[in-house]
Amino acid sequence: MSEWVRRWEIEVRWRPGLPGDRLSARRVDTVAELRQLVAWARANPDITRHQHRTVRELAGDPPAACPNGHPYDGGSATRAARGWTTCPCGGHLILACRWPGCGDVSHDPPKCAELH
């Protein structure tokens, strides 16, 4: 099962003329890690600009089977029909079981499934 997690992304622009003088980005999991990277970027004379933002990522593996135990992998008869729907929480992966007679439709992550 997957879930939405909050992370931070920091982008830095390197001084022109350096090997790899480009915009680079790194994602971190905690505010402490972000604070450390921002302090490093401010102190580094080779960085001309830095900015950070909050990002939401879907972490974890999607379910391997529907709630009735039918596997989502395998041939076309058992593979899930997958679709993406947006939601204020960030969005959901919709998994529809293709097992004959099942018809189960699941949301991953399931947190806001009642809204859809």
| Cβ atoms 63, 72 nearer than 8 A | yes
Q: Which two structure tokens, joined as six digits, stand for 81?
A: 């029909």
Same domain? 53 vs 72: no
Partners of residue 10 on adjacent β-strands: 26, 52
Q: Which two structure tokens, joined as six digits, stand for 31?
A: 């505010």
Same domain? 53 vs 78: no
Same domain? 67 vs 111: yes
Q: How many domains does the chain contain in total? A: 2
**Given a cut of 70, is residue 79 above it in pLDDT?**
no
d(CA 25, CA 50): 9
Same domain? 102 vs 75: yes
Residue range of the domain that includes 104: 63-115
Same domain? 51 vs 68: no
Same domain? 21 vs 36: yes
d(CA 84, CA 47): 38
Same domain? 51 vs 73: no
* 97 exposure class (CB count in 10 Å sphere: 0-12, 13-18, 19+): buried
Same domain? 45 vs 73: no
- Domain limit, last residue, from 18, 42, 58: 58
pTM more than 0.85: no
Whole-number mean pLDDT of the chain?
79
Same domain? 54 vs 38: yes
Top pLDDT among 40 and 105 is at 40
Same domain? 39 vs 76: no
**Given a cut of 90, is residue 77 above it in pLDDT?**
no
